């Protein structure tokens, strides 16, 4: 069964050129079995030569982007649209 809200519409895609914009991403980290995704928040820092956006998570809010977020949208909270999708996360110790 597919559920479709009457308010559902495609996400707005935005060409991200600004640095310092706030982002939000959602994902299901390893060993998490809940229905609602975890959220990561932070700032968009730079566009790399490959076209990839580099982001830094906000240590005071949410969790960091990690395995389980791959393929999910990166939502620009200021411009209210999708600017990218999660493709990688830097390895973390601990």
Identify the burial level of 79 via C-beta atoms within 10 angstroms of its C-beta, where 0-12 means exposed, 13-18 middle and 19 or more buried.
middle
- Residue 94: inside a domain: no
Q: In this structure, are residues 39 and 77 in contact, taking their beta carbons and an 8 Å threshold?
A: no
pLDDT above 70 (res 94): no
State the pLDDT at residue 4. Answer: 67
- Residue 68: inside a domain: yes
- Residue 28: inside a domain: yes
pLDDT for 8-26, tens place per residue? Answer: 788 888 886 667 789 999 9
State the pLDDT at residue 11. Answer: 85
pLDDT above 80 (res 73): yes
Q: In this structure, are residues 64 and 91 in contact, taking their beta carbons and an 8 Å threshold?
A: no
| Full residue range of the structural domain in which residue 80 is found | 22-85
Number of domains in the chain: 1
- Residue 9: inside a domain: no
pLDDT for 27-63, tens place per residue? Answer: 988 777 778 888 999 998 888 888 888 888 888 888 8
Identify the DSSP state of 18: -
């Amino acid at each position: 069964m597919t559920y479709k809200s009457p308010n559902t519409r495609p996400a707005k895609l935005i060409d991200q050129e600004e640095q310092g914009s706030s982002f939000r991403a959602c994902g299901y980290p390893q060993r998490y079995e809940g229905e609602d995704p975890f959220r990561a928040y932070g700032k968009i820092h730079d566009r790399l030569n490959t076209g990839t956006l580099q982001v830094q998570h906000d240590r005071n809010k949410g969790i960091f982007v990690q395995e389980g977020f791959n393929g999910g949208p990166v939502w620009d909270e200021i411009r209210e649209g999708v600017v990218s999708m999660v493709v990688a996360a830097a390895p973390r110790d601990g």
